[in-house]
Structure 1
Amino acid sequence: MPARRFDGKRLRSARLEAGYSRQADFAKQVEASRATVATWENGRGPSPERLPALAHALRTDINLLFPRHGAPDLADLRCDTGLTQYEVERRTSTKDHDVGMAERGSRPLTQALREALAALYGVTEEALLAAEKRSFGGKEAPLPTTLAEKIAYLLEHTYPGNQQPPSDADIACGINAAAGAEVTSAEDVRDLRDGTVTEVSPVVREGLAEVLGVSAFFFQPDEDTIVETIVEGLRTLHQVRNGDISIKARGMGPEGLPAELLAVVNDLASNLQKWARTEGGPTNR
């Protein structure tokens, strides 16, 4: 349910204060029928993406006319731009209803789409990520399953502090260095990140794993156990990476961390320590 509260009486008062004494005049301004405006003022509000246009036409702050109850989720951010899901997908050239699925908490956004939506909605990527988490009910997003989702997850979660994730060109350079040959390009990596390309050769998969510091099995289809282990390791690491990021098998209950998870986390922690001492990330190791 949209976080903004609609009040037909408040809309009518704002219309009169703005100088629209007749519903028909206001209706023309917002490209609606007089009957539609009457319906709104009787309490049945419009679709939430229409609220910004109404506030603009009435020359008032949308937060005053339609106050928000709580922090926004992805749907709220979209509606505040006055765009439908279809319009957002058309402007960002996305496929498979990615925007709608993220808003419903069914599938997380790729990093490329996060960047595009943050720019389109006029918010920071941090604000967009917070809204995405609310769309998932405050819970962690589901495990990444597609190649694009897995790359996005690693780029989001393995660069602490002020470190910048590698660019598409950086990743391509790292893959080529690992392969010892020219096997990919920045354009190819961009296609992987935005989901245009969904499969890669073993040499590219291994190089990608080397660049991002994980096992190549992470990028294999149907390797849920490996993905879950690495994701859980990253979630644990995220909780402590502002302090001593070396994790010990104690303080985790009598059984401690599983050996496999501990190995993954400490390997990632070691990589993070190396990256923290450099400016270029994994491609400059």
Structure 2
Amino acid sequence: MPVVVVTDSSSRLPESVAAHYGIRQVPLHVSYDDKDYREGIDPIPENLSSTPGVTTSGANPAELTEYFESALEASEGDGVVAVHLSRKLSGTWSSARLAAERFSGQVRIVDSRSVGLAVGFTAIAAAQAAAAGADRDRVYESAIRQAATVDSLLAVQQLDNLRQSGRISAAGKLFGSALSIKPILHMVDGTLQLRERHRTYSKALDKMVDAAVECAGGRAVTVGIQHCESPVVAEELLETLRGRLRMVTSELVVELGPILGPHVGPGAVGVVIASHLDPIEGIEAR
């Protein structure tokens, strides 16, 4: 049997894609009003991205152990590669490392150094390698290569969520008191950092497109659009990128969801650019 790939729900992979590649997604947690919800499993109240008092947390070692054990059994001994969101943004990676110690090297853990579809694309790279017959170490190397080369950009419409979440370092220093600033953020070595800042959201979106084209560098690429309660803007952004990029091999548009949305707020829209991926299978027509 092929190596089995595990990731977490921050990957934002559509269920149809995860099912096609046999990728198992460990749920992360969102808490509100003294209730804990598992993303992708429990019914979660809508509009949490704009609701005060929402908190999120990673998967714990016991949950990860359960998923790893099941995945290892399904692999019939070929092993497991687990791709998780950045260790600098969540404790999930550390919990995964702890859980993996129980399996005598049969489970390898990848720090994607990112979040959202960048995690998802890294998991897909691993799953495509596994489907092609790669062993556990080569599947791991495919994931590491993808994690090192994927580019993730995000335009944020409001700053309150970023300030409150603490997921961007020194937010006060970056933005000061200029609440009208619309930043473009990008992932750098596992953390969200400021790339550019603009006076208007439309300008930020235009510049994010320019940055995505620059990241693509004229290559054939996979494009991901992720958004928080902004499906129309997301589709418009994708249409613009189609006209600017030389070749798009696959494209995905996803909601950031209840785990990631509260950290960036309504109106946030991001672009993920990945190379080294075969065309993604399992994508359902929108």
TM-score, normalized by the shorter chain, greater than 0.5: no
Higher RCO (Cα < 8 Å, 6 or more apart) = 2
More helix by share: 1
Which of the two has higher C-alpha Rg? Answer: 1
Q: TM-score category by the smaller chain? A: under 0.3
Higher strand content, 1 or 2: 2
Per the normalisation by structure 1, the TM-score is 0.22
State the TM-score, normalizing by the size of structure 2: 0.22
